[in-house]
Structure 1
Amino acid sequence: MARKKQIIVPIVILAAGVLAFVGFSAMKKPPEEKAEVDNTPIVAVEQITVESMQLTVKSHGIVMPKYETRLVSQISGEIVELSEAFVRGGFVKKGQLLARIDPSDYEAALLDAQANHASSLASLETERAKSKVAETEWKRITHSAPTELSLRKPQLAQELAHVKSAKATILRAQRNLERTEIRAPYDAMIESRHVGLGSFVTVGSDIGKVLGTAIAEVRLPVADNQLKFLIDQGQQAQVQLSGTFSGTQRFWSAHVARNEGVVDNKSRMGYLVAEIKDPYGLNESKTELRFGSYVNAAIFGIEVAQASVIPNYLISDGRIALLNDESKLHFAEVEIIRQDGANSIISNGLSTGDRMITSALDYPINGMALALPKDEEQTPEQSVVDTQIASIQE
C-alpha cells in the first residue's frame, strides 16, 4: 500500500504541474504587432515670390540750411530800431527790416555831398564860360593856333574832376545811409541776434545770423561699393527721408542735388547732398522739417526685373534648399546681387511658387525624401473645397 502511494503521488504532482503550465500558457497574450515607423524628415517650407524690385541705398544725416549768413555792421552807430521778428526762431521775408542804425549823421553827410556836388557843377559851368571867352579873345588878337593853357583847358579838366569826385562822394554817402538799415538777404529764420536796442556797433560788429528757409540740405554718407546700386552714381536720385516729429514717424521727399566728389579721409565715405524745398512748410501745407534734425534716408536706385529676398542663413555656398513636386530635396543655384543686412537679394535661380525649406536638416542630401507637417499636406485646392463644405454644413 505504501509502495502504491510512492508511485501515485509523484505522478499526481507531475500531472498537476503540467496542467498548471498549460493553464498559464493559455492565459499569456501573444505580443502585439508594432506599426511601422515613418522616419522621413519633416520640414517647414515657405513659398517664394519673385517680382520686380527697386533697390535702395540706406544712409542718414543732419538737416542743415543750404544758405546761412552772418550779418555784420558796415558802419558805426547806435541801434535805434529792432524788428519784432528779429528774435531767435523768427521767420522773416527777403528785404524785411531787421534793425536800424541811427541815420542822422549819414543823412547829414549825404546833404553835404550833394551840396559839394552842386558847387562843383557851378564851378564847372563858370570854367566852361571862361574857356569860351578865352577862345573868342584869342581869335581876335591873333590868327595863330592857341595853346591849351590859353584856352583854359587844364582848368576845365580840373573842375570836371571835382564834379566826378563830388558825385562819388554822393554815391558813398547814399550807400552808407542805406547801410543804416539791416535787412534780410532772403526768406530766412533767425538763428541768433547779438545786439539790442541802444547798442553801439562799429564796422564789423556781429549783428546776428540768419538761415535760409527756401531749401534745406542733408549730407548723406554712402560707401563706394553702394554707388553701383544707384543710377548715374545717385545724380538726381529721389530720396525718402524719415524721422520723428512730435513723437510720430514722418516722411519727407527730397532729391540728390550733387555729389561732393571727394572721399572723407577719416570715414572713407563719399557724400551725396540731398535737397528739400520749403522744409518749414511756409509756402505749402506740410510737416515741417527742422534744421538740426537727424533723419534716415532711403536713396532709390536701379530696378531689378526679377528679384526675391531670402534670409542669409538659408543660403549655403550659393545654393538654396527647395522641396520639389515629388517631395524631395533639391538644391537651386542662385545669383546674389546684394546683401542687405540679414537678407540677400536674389536675381536669378528661383521662380514664383518654389517651396523654400526653412527648417534645419542634419544631413541634407540632394534628392532625399522629405515630408511636410500634416496640416500642410493639403493642397490649396483641397483647403478651398474643405472650407466650402464646412460653410455649407454650418
Structure 2
Amino acid sequence: MKYFDYAASCPLDQEAAEVYVKAASTYYGNSSSLHDVGDQANELLEYSRAQFARFFDVSKDGVFFTSGGSEGNFLAIQTLLTSNVKKGKHIITGMAEHSSVLNSMEKLRQAGWDITMLPFSPDGRIDVGGFRDAVREDTVLASIQHANPEIGTLQPIEEVGQICRENGILFHSDCVQSFGKVDLTTVAHSVDALTISSHKFYGPKGVGAVYLNPALRWDPYVPGTTHEGGFRPGTVNVPGIVAMSAAAEKAVIGLDVYSEHYRELRKEFLNSLDPIQEKCIIYEADLPSTIGIRVAGLEGQLIMNEANLRGFAISTGSACQVSMQTPSKTMVALGVEGKAAKEFTRITLGRETEGEDVRQLGDALVKIVRENL
C-alpha cells in the first residue's frame, strides 16, 4: 500500500522511537515525585519544555504538554476564557476549523456564548476585512486555524493577531497542521495560545503541546489540577514528550529540505494528471505537501475507495470527519454546495514519498476518472 495520508498521521520516526524506549525504560519515574528517580524524569520533561520554547521563540513558562491536538485545542480555548481580559460573550472562529474547535464552540454556544463563524474567500483564506467587520465590543476570543488540513492554505495569523490586540481580544490558533512544515515563531508572537500534535510530524501519538502566553492570568479548567502548572490533570507522559521533542527537532532542522522535496513531488504529481486536467479543480496551497482536488461529477468517496483497491491510501478530507461521510468543511467554507462539496479528495505527501510513487498514483487516478465518467 502506497500511503498518501500524512496529514491524518505520520509513521513514528525511528530515532524518536528509540528515544521513547530509552526514556520509558530508564527514566520511568513520575516527574512530580520528590525523589531522585522522579527528578531524573522531571529534568527530561523540563529539557523538552525548553526545546519547544526555543522552536517557538517564547518563554518556557508558557509551554504545556497535552495528550494531543484535540485536547490541546479544547484546553487552550477554555483556559483563555478564564483569563477575564475583558467582559463579553462573543467569539469569532472559522467555518473550516478542526472538529475539536467546532465542537468546543458548539458546547460554548449551548452555554450561552454567541459564536460567529467566518467563511473562506475564494483563495481559501479568512478575509482580514471580514474578520475586522465581525469584531464587536463584546468579542473576547478568536480561534483561527493556521494551516487548512484539506487544501494547505495558511491563514493571515499576523494580521488577525494585530486586530485582536487592538481590540483586547484573546487569540488562539490551531497549528497542528503547520508545525514541522513552516517556521512558527511569527505565529507564536501573534497569538495568545497555539496548539500542536506530535503524530503530525513523525512523533508518537497521544502527545502534544500548547503555548499559552505566560503574561496572562488564568484558572485551571479542572479545579485542583497540579500537573503542568494546573493546565492539565493526569500523570505527565514524559517518554512521549521526549520522543516528540526529538521528532520536532528533526522536523525544524529539515524544514527547507523537506519543503523542497514536497514541491518537486507536487509538481510531478500534477503533471501526471494532465490527461484529465479539464475535469479537475486543483486548489492552490501554501503547504506543498497538501494537494486538494475536486473531480467534477465524481464523489471523493468513490475515488478514495477505488484508489484503495489499487493500493493507494488517500483521503476525502480531515480524518475526524471522513467516517461521517459529510461534505468537506473546507468546501462548505469556500461556498461549494450540494453534491459538488462531496467531490473533494485530499492527497498528502511525506518524507518517504518518492517520485515513482506520485507518478503511479497519478496514473491510477487518471484510470479511475476515465472509468467512472
TM range, smaller chain? under 0.3
- Judging by fraction of residues, say which structure has more helix: 2
TM-score normalised according to structure 2 size = 0.20
- Judging by fraction of residues, say which structure has more strand: 1
Larger Rg: 1
